[in-house]
Amino acid sequence: AGQTPHGAVLGPGAGDNASAALGLSAGAGDCVVSLGTSGVVSAVGDVAPHDAEGIVAGFADATGRQLPLVCTLNGAPVLAAVAAMLRVDFDELDRLALSAPAGADGLTLVPYFEGERSPNLPDATGALHGVTVRNLNSAN
């Protein structure tokens, strides 16, 4: 802590993602996933990201390392929409997801349900790709 010239106390602080990484004791090489209104994936490292396209944002963590992250507008609301479509609660959605094979037999949901900001695609819409008779089921 320190003080301003007028005596106001200054103390260190951190943003939400840096605080989360600190609270989780995330170290170099660790990845943190946060799912709320937005979806965030960050990783603690020693090298600042250099992404000319602006998809990977460069932040510092609370320990002096780097915390590059990718953030999407489409986090938990996508899960809520899928649960509503399947007419299941979140516990059942979890059970279904855990029962699905890794990769969902090639079925991919592009979750741009509310447009997107990273990349900047405000008019983007969601899509379901790779649909076959074999993979179109509630678990996938």
Q: Which residues are catalytic?
A: 16
d(CA 18, CA 25): 11
Report the distance separating Cα 49 and Cα 28, nearest Å. Answer: 14
Classified as helix, coil or strand, 101 is coil
> Can you state the angle between helices 76-86 and 90-99, rounded to 10 degrees?
90
92-107 in b/e form (b: 16+ CB < 10 A) is ebeebeeeeeeeeeeb
